Structure 1
Amino acid sequence: MPVFQIHHVTKYNYNRPVKESVNQLRIYPVASDQQEILQHEVNITTDPELFFFLDYWGNRCADFSLLAAHTSLIIDSRVVVRTIGKESVPIVESTRDELQQIVASDFHLLELSRPEEILATKALQQILTSLDCEHKTVMQIVEACSGYIFSEFKYIKGITNIETTVDEILEHRSGVCQDFAHVLLQLLRSMGIPSRYVSGYICPNKNGMRGEGATHAWVEAYIPQLGWVGIDPTNNVWVTTHHIKLAVGRDFNACSPIKGTFKGLAKQTLSVYVSVGYEDGHVFEELNDVQMQITESVKEAERIAAEEAAQQQQ
């Protein structure tokens, strides 16, 4: 049963003081029969009070606020997790007919089996037709869809962001883990298979996997006789003991580790550092400077700053 030490630092910097920052966290690993939380410490700038709750999807969340003016916000999470799941996923022969009977009487599963409305329905259907899923079991369909994304889509960092749509991903057939997860969700739901987005971390293993030492995303599909089972299309593997789950939801927006808002005309920058240490001392780490969308308030802040600078020079 491997033990992983995860250090996750999110840092916001503002070019002008901001205030009344209101934030929500989903950085608390799920305690389940697959993973055991041995230790978890979260430190936040000015040590605000945290208000914990469970959201609609059952994720443990926390709200906090920073009322006073500040030019930076740092959220530092350190967690030690032992994975206690099985090294492999058992094979079952459940059919789509069996699944449909279960879904028909479960609103939650029904909600997660409804695909998004997209423009590229023809392209999506061509993929499903090529996979010839009509006589496959539910498990085989999930494997086939994941395998298709792994082999036909290129793993390229920096060409997509959290706003990238499924239509855009299907068009250029490349992206990163969150993009592949969203495409897999669309494929599975189009086949009537309930599925949900999962956020978390991918941890080192002897074979090496794309995305190690970073925040990661994959999909859980509902399979009769097994329940919710994770599959990682970025690496085309069933999720076992090398994935740490933080949150689940319909898509990324429901699972975002940190999100919030603030008052003030300021331009913000965001950097995310993640390190994942294995019990043998091997550490994977990654630092990302995240591209932030320019809003009208940011443009206005830049205009005001330019005017103030010009006045000081007169």
Structure 2
Amino acid sequence: MPTFKIHHITSYEYDRPVTESINEIRITPYACEEQEILEHELNITGNPTLLNYTDYWGNRIGQFNVNPPHSELVIESKLVVRTKAPTDRTLVFNTGFEQLQQEINQSLALLELTKPEAIQHQEAIQEIVRQIYQPWKSVAATVQDCCQFIFQHFQYIKGITDIETTVDQIIEHRSGVCQDFAHVMLQVLRTLKIPSRYVSGYICPNKNGLRGEGATHAWVETWIPNYGWTGIDPTNNIWVSNTHVKLAVGRNFTDCSPVKGTFKGPAHQNLYVFVSVGYEDGHRFEERNQVKTPVVAEEGLYRPTIDEAGRQQQ
């Protein structure tokens, strides 16, 4: 069972003081059998009172306010987590769509996650479905084929998409990063009526050179009948094992953003994100990104902080 040390810093800098910063964070690992929190230290500018609760999806949420004028907001998470999933999962590859439908009929939560978005290029999604779906295949095999198709037919290119990129746009240019691969896979699986959800987290250092290591990452969890939720990573074409640390789950990245909020003041904001993931053998991977926005809030109005979700995930 590997143990990882994860250092995650989100830093907002403003060119003039802002006030009434109201924020929501999802940087405490998701509570599940596959991982165990050994240590977690959280430091926030001004040491505000943190309101903790669990949301609809089971995510651990922290809310806080920073009311006095400030030119910087830093949210620092120091985490030691042990992943307990096996290196190679033994999945159920003999349960089909008839059994899946029976389980969906017994759960409104699963039914909710079978509904695809209304998009313009749904015919392109249907074409992917026609290429991967065979009625005699199990649900797990179909999910695996979907993952492989996206891995083979979509290019992994950083910097060409952001949080506002739609599934239609991803379909058009057939490229992007992990969040984009996950959103396309969700659309395909939900078109097949397979319950699926978006996952935000980290992918940890390893000897296989997986894409996205050392930064916040995104993948998909899908419901396999007679088995339950299991993760699959279309960016790397693998079933999730003990190299992934899960932070949050939801319908899409908006349910899983590590940090989001609003502030008051006519200021330019810069976002810097630093993530360091260390393995127990001493190997460490670090990455620091800067995101800038030219938009300035009007005097007296609230405006959103740059959403960390799609800006940082790779």
TM-score (norm 2): 0.93
Report the counterpart of residue 193 of structure 2 in structure 1. 192
Q: Is this contact kept in 1: 2:268–2:294, CA < 8 A?
A: no
Corresponding residue for residue 303 of structure 1: none
Distance 1:290 1:23 in 2: 18
Asked if 1:294 is matched to 2:304, the reply is: no
Deviation at 1:293, TM superposition (A): 6.6
How far 1:294 sits from its partner (Å)? 2.6
3-state DSSP of counterpart to 1:9: strand
| Matched residue type, 1:206 | K
| Correspondence 1:67 to 2:67 | yes
Q: Distance in 1 between matches of 2:196 and 2:134?
A: 17
- Provide the rounded CA distance (Å) in 2 between the counterparts of 1:291 and 1:252: 20
Are 1:241 and 2:242 an aligned pair?
A: yes
1:32 corresponds in structure 2 to 32
Match of residue 274 from structure 2: 273
CA distance, structure 2, for counterparts of residue 89 and residue 105 of structure 1: 26
**How many angstroms does 1:295 deviate by?**
5.7
Inter-partner Cα distance in structure 1 for 2:260 and 2:273? 13
1:182 maps onto 2:186 in alignment: no
Q: Who is 2:255 aligned against? A: 254
1:209 counterpart letter in structure 2: L
Alpha-carbon distance between aligned partners in 2 of 1:297 and 1:10, rounded to the nearest angstrom:
24
Tell me if the contact between 2:42 and 2:76 (Cα under 8 Å) persists in the aligned partners: yes
**What does 1:154-193 correspond to in 2, within 5 Å?**
154-193=155-194
Identify the residue that residue 310 of structure 2 maps to in structure 1.
none
Q: Which residue identity is paired with 1:38?
A: L
What is the aligned-residue identity percentage? 57
Letter in 1 for 2:278: G
CA–CA separation in structure 2 for the residues paired with 1:98 and 1:295: 53
* Distance verdict in 2 for CA 1:293–1:195, change over 3 Å: farther
Q: 1:16 to 1:133 in 2, by over 3 A?
A: farther
Which ranges in structure 2 are unaligned for 5 or more consecutive residues?
302-314
Map of 2:98 onto structure 1: 97
Equivalent position amino acid for 1:15 in 2: D
Aligned to 2:83: 83
- 1:32 is displaced (CA, Å) by 2.2
Question: Are 2:35 and 1:48 equivalent residues in the alignment?
Answer: no
Contact 2:266 2:297 in 1 (8 A): no
SS of structure 2 residue aligned to 1:204:
coil
Q: Which amino acid aligns with 2:126?
A: Q
RMSD of aligned Cα (Å): 1.3
Tell me what 1:2 maps to: 2
Query: Residues 62 and 293 of structure 1: is their aligned pair in 2 closer, same or farther, counting only changes over 3 Å?
Result: farther
Counterpart in the other structure of 2:122: 121
Q: Which moved more, 1:134-143 or 1:161-170?
A: 134-143
Runs ≥4 residues deviating over 4 A: none
Q: In the aligned structure 2, how far is the partner of 1:295 from the partner of 1:117? A: 32
Cα deviation 1:169-224 (Å, max 9, x = unaligned): 00000000001000000000000000000000000112110000000000000001
In 2, distance between residues paired with 1:19 and 1:144? 50
1:146 deviates by 0.5
Secondary structure of 2:62's aligned partner: strand
Once residues 148 and 61 of structure 1 are traced to their aligned partners in structure 2, the CA distance between those partners, rounded to angstroms, is 34
Question: Kindly tell me: are residues 168 and 260 of structure 1, through their superposed partners in 2, closer, same or farther at Cα, counting changes over 3 Å?
Answer: same
Task: Work out whether residues 203 and 215 of structure 2, in 8 Å CA contact, stay in contact via their aligned partners in 1.
Answer: yes
Residue 220 of structure 1: aligned partner:
221
Q: Distance in 1 between the 2:206 and 2:112 partners?
A: 35
Residue-by-residue CA offset, 1:51-78 (whole Å, 9 max, x unaligned):
0001111111110000000001000100
Q: Residue type of the partner of 2:33?
A: D
**Deviates further, 127-136 or 100-109:** 127-136
Match of 1:305 in 2: none
Q: C-alpha separation between the residues in 1 aligned to 2:280 and 2:213?
A: 15
Tell me the amino acid that sits aligned with residue 48 of structure 2. P
Q: Is the 8 A contact 2:265 2:297 kept in 1?
A: no
Which has the higher Rg, Structure 1 or Structure 2? 1
Q: State the SS of the aligned residue for 1:297.
A: coil
* Alpha-carbon offset, residue 296 of structure 1: 5.7
- What is the CA-CA distance between 1:137 and the residue it aligns to? 0.7
**Worse overlay, 198-207 or 124-133:** 124-133
CA distance in 2, matches of 1:99, 1:77: 39
Alpha-carbon deviations, 1:273-311, whole Å to 9, x = none?
00100001100011111243736639x9xxxxxxxxxxx
Gaps of 5+ in 1: 301-314
The aligned length equals 299
- Residues 1:224 and 1:132: Cα distance change in structure 2 (over 3 Å): closer
